[in-house]
Amino acid sequence: MAATARAIQQFTELSEEECDARIRAAKAALGERLVILGHHYQREEVYRHADYTGDSLKLSRMAASSNAEFIVFCGVHFMAEVADILSRPEQVSILPDLAAGCSMADMANLAKVERAWRELSEVLDPDEQVTPVTYINSAADLKAFCGRHGGIVCTSTNARHVLEWSFARRGKVLFFPDQHLGRNTGYRMGIPLDQMVVWDFNQPLGGLTVEQIRTAKMILWKGFCSVHQMFKPQHIDQFLARFPDAKVISHPECSFEVCEKSDYVGSTEYIINTVTESASGTRWLVGTELNLVQRLHERHQHQGKSVHFMSPTVCMCSTMFRVDPQHLLWTLENLVQGNVVNRIRVPEHEAREARLALERMFEVL
């Protein structure tokens, strides 16, 4: 890591203009051997260089179907892992900055989930009664855990369909790592709040009683997205007091209270499409990451649409922000010179089981 830091040091003092020009030159030199993926939450200076933009799963599938040899994922670690899992053996998945992780994904690790599974087995037979469901915002080894235990992966777009599939097979769901996506989706499926309990991974038996586990339909991992937890119900109330005709749209990683006060709740792609398809002159309050909200405002302001960030406090995803133009340039110029840096490679046995959980999700769609 120290050698990497020293290697990148020479790029840190480049002007934005020079960095931008050299990225374009490296892209041109690599041609069709390269595809750059840009997640919606990336900063604009990086986002503009992406060949494909979108959410994490969509991007991985597009890259896997491309002819590119090198997949450079401008996102976070679990996204580059999914790209590696779904891509062909000859394709190489790369993350420009290895420090770009996901705090929510880190709240559920394999050791904690396996311990939860063992503790659940003291109360019931989890392999007969519980479907493990992991949000795509999770490490590859947790996707593999779901693969070998009859479980599945979900996204914020397809969570309802995945839960329907899960309940058709077993009576309960262990949902990780984001409790809010699980709760918001389950509630809209008609599951009462008192049948959705939170598993505190720092407490014996998740901090639950035997009776709570037996009567619960959903066991929600005590995980969350720090960005989406910045949004509060009072932010909506204060905004609507000023603009009563405004529409409120939130990501399902937001709290239950925020989603209940929202006119629309859905994935990043859903938010983009809903704002895009709305009538001219519409005003929107949006509960999701700042870079995306700013991009939506700039894209649609000429139509008289106003797109506002829900929180009065700036709260971009700090780990997404780790990927900057300097790291992207360093990555690309190394590829031009024949050096692969920051490769993300999921062990084959792990990738095989993770792929199984992902394939189950694809069959649901």
**Do 219 and 246 lie in a common domain?**
no
pLDDT grade, residue 16 (50/70/90)? confident
What's the CA gap between 335 and 313, in Å, rounded?
39
pLDDT bin (cut points 50, 70, 90) of residue 1 is low
Residues 251-270 pLDDT 10s: 999 999 999 999 999 999 99
Domain around 299: 228-309
Tally of structural domains, the chain: 3
Say how far apart CA 247 and CA 89 lie, in whole Å: 46
The reply to whether 19 falls in a domain is yes
Residues 63, 136, single domain; the answer is no
Domain boundary among 309, 335, 356: 309
Same domain, 73 and 169: no
Q: Is residue 279 part of a domain?
A: yes
CATH code (residue 281):
3.40.50.10800
- 179-189 pLDDT, tens digit per residue, is 999 999 999 99
Task: Please check whether residue 356 lies inside any domain of the structure.
Answer: no
Which of 192, 225, 258 represents a domain boundary (last residue)? Answer: 225
Is 362 within a domain?
A: no
Is 359 a member of any domain? no
**pTM, whole model, 2 decimals?**
0.94
Per the prediction, the chain carries an average pLDDT of 95
pLDDT above 70: residue 53:
yes
Q: Are residues 63 and 17 in the same domain?
A: yes
The radius of gyration of the chain's CA atoms, rounded to the nearest angstrom, is 21
User: Residue 316, Cβ neighbours under 10 Å: how many?
Assistant: 17
Cβ-based burial of 176 (10 A; exposed 0-12, middle 13-18, buried ≥19)? buried
pLDDT at position 316 over 80? no
Do 169 and 246 share a structural domain? no
The pair of three-digit structure tokens given for residue 261, joined into one six-digit string = 């006060």
Looking at the domain assignment, is residue 365 inside a domain?
no
Find tokens 């209270």 and name the residue.
257
Q: Are residues 31 and 91 in the same domain?
A: yes
pLDDT at 12: 83
Query: What is the token pair recorded at 257?
Result: 């209270």
Same domain, 132 and 235: no
**Residues 109, 215 within the same domain:** yes
**How far is residue 75's CA from residue 309's CA, in Å, rounded to a whole number?**
21
pLDDT interval class at 56 (50, 70, 90): confident
Say whether pLDDT at 3 is over 80.
no
Please check whether residues 146 and 183 belong to one and the same domain: yes
User: Tell me: the pLDDT tens digits for 63-95?
Assistant: 999 999 999 999 999 999 999 999 999 999 999
